[in-house]
Amino acid sequence: MIVLFKQLRSIILSNLQQVKAKGSFAQNFAISLSGSVIVTALGFLLTPVMARIYTPAAYGQFAVFNSIISNLGLLSTMAYPNAIPLPKTKDKALALLQLILVLSFGYFVLSSIACLVFGKWIMDRMQVTAISYWFYSIPVILLLFNLSMAMNSWYTRTKEFKTRAGNDVLTSVAGRLFTLGYGFFVSGQVAGLVIGDIFSKTTLFIGLLRSGIYRELGEMRRSFSWKAIRAVAREYREFPLYMLPGGYINTLSAQLPIFLLTSSFGSTVVGLYSFSVSLLEIPVNLIGNAVAPVFYQKASETYNDNPGGLKDITLQIFNKLLYIGLLPFGIITIYGDVIFKFVFGARWEMAGVFTGYLGYYYIFKLTSQSTASIYTVLGKQRYMLLTNVLLLLVRAAALGIGIYMKDVNTGLLLFGIGSLVAVFMIDMHILHLLKLPVVRIGLRSLLLMGGTILVLKLSRVAFEYLSINAF
């Protein structure tokens, strides 16, 4: 017993020393995680209040609007912000920033013209006329979104994770409070969600700009060169060639239910689905947003300095994220409908059912969200494209069956199962590229997941049996 206590004490002291080491992976992760914890806690606290202000239909219309932003945002920068942490020299990184600025402002002009010419037709087609004139804010939102993405990547490059964490907290607090307050005065209309999102993105942009990158503006202006911009565009051409299509397909596949369910089942069903996904994303963002940028920076550094150590840190991250996700996502999978009805009210109970269909897919989304950067580090972006195509096809087939049967439950159940299988295979492929024992790791992961599901399912059966007999 004394020996175990000494070992535990040694491990704790060792971890504390790593956290205290300036610029270490442990310290960067701790900083990122602290910001994510605050954002997540705020999300959990305020979501029940928002659920009683905004209706499922409002959430559905906002989900469609937000999906348009996400799709256009990825296309407009051609995935170049993801390349900023990679160059060894600052000159190339600044040239990438200049390239992104040119693309962002160019797309701002094009999207403004498109909104003016086709805005009304798009709103009618997408069934978001309730958003009204706020639809025409899309070009401005896109510009703020793209520039914020570029600045976040810059701070990842410079290891300023404290800056990122602080801005995430500020944005979350300001955005959610504004959305709640405005929603209360407009009686839960979708405009409250849209204006709250605009306020959040504006706050994030200003916060990131004032956090230090503005000092680089003078050097960016002095060093501006079309030749240097063309050079980095060519050097990192794999990002628009492979990462852009892969990222776009991944975004499209995640939003497939929003577009397909809107036309087949209406905005209320889409709102229930979007609400369930937004809650599942909270723990994923808590851990994933803390781990992913730190791991990407560390993986890039390790691959440059000690390539053999890359597989060890990747397997460690995969295992830790798997263990972290098993229980919480297991509980939401088995008890989702009960939790949603109790916490958010009866009108959101069906959202809890949808959450149960998707819960265990999110375990492996949690792991792949961080480890997927291995494709970029190894220069294997084409594999990212192929895996995302696989995910899109599986999800489209699943939803197509549900729409054909006119049964949204069947469609989303198959969507969840298909996503789980596809993302698990992607995880295993990443580990295979690093020459890790994939079969052993995969079997152990599936056994852990199956065992957790079985225990939780038995606990629910026992709970329901005792409840029935008690009354």
Q: How far apart are CA 144 and CA 119, in angstroms?
A: 20
**Range scoring the smallest mean pLDDT among 9-13, 30-34, 157-161, 443-447:** 9-13
Question: Does residue 397 register a pLDDT over 90?
Answer: yes
Give the pLDDT score at 5: 38
* Range 132-148 average pLDDT: 86
Tokens read off for 286: 């808590």
In a 13 Å sphere around the CA of 365, the CA atoms on its Cβ side amount to 24
CB-based contacts of 6: which residues, under 8 Å, 6+ apart?
none
Question: Does residue 10 register a pLDDT over 50?
Answer: no
Q: Where do we find the tokens 């499922």?
A: 56
pLDDT bin (cut points 50, 70, 90) of residue 18 is very low
Alpha-carbon distances of 425 from 17, 170, 284, rounded to whole Å? 36, 37, 19
Give the pLDDT score at 168: 67
pLDDT bin (cut points 50, 70, 90) of residue 323 is confident
Burial of 470 (0-12, 13-18, 19+ CB in 10 A): exposed
Give the pLDDT score at 19: 45
Q: Where do we find the tokens 């079997």?
A: 443
Q: Tell me how long the chain is.
A: 471
If one compares 251 and 335, the residue with the highest pLDDT of the two is 335
Tokens read off for 173: 């607090």
Give the pLDDT score at 93: 87
The pTM of the whole model exceeds 0.75: no
Closest C-alpha to 328, from 148, 206, 449, 174: 449
CB 192 within 8 A of CB 54: yes
Closest C-alpha to 193, from 283, 267, 259: 267
Give the pLDDT score at 442: 92
Alpha-carbon distances of 30 from 26, 124, 142, 291, 365, rounded to whole Å? 6, 46, 31, 9, 21
Give the pLDDT score at 12: 39
Burial of 117 (0-12, 13-18, 19+ CB in 10 A): exposed
* Range 359-370 average pLDDT: 85
Question: Does residue 419 register a pLDDT over 60?
Answer: yes
**Range scoring the smallest mean pLDDT among 126-140, 415-429, 432-446:** 126-140
Residues 169-181 have pLDDT tens digits of: 667 777 777 777 7
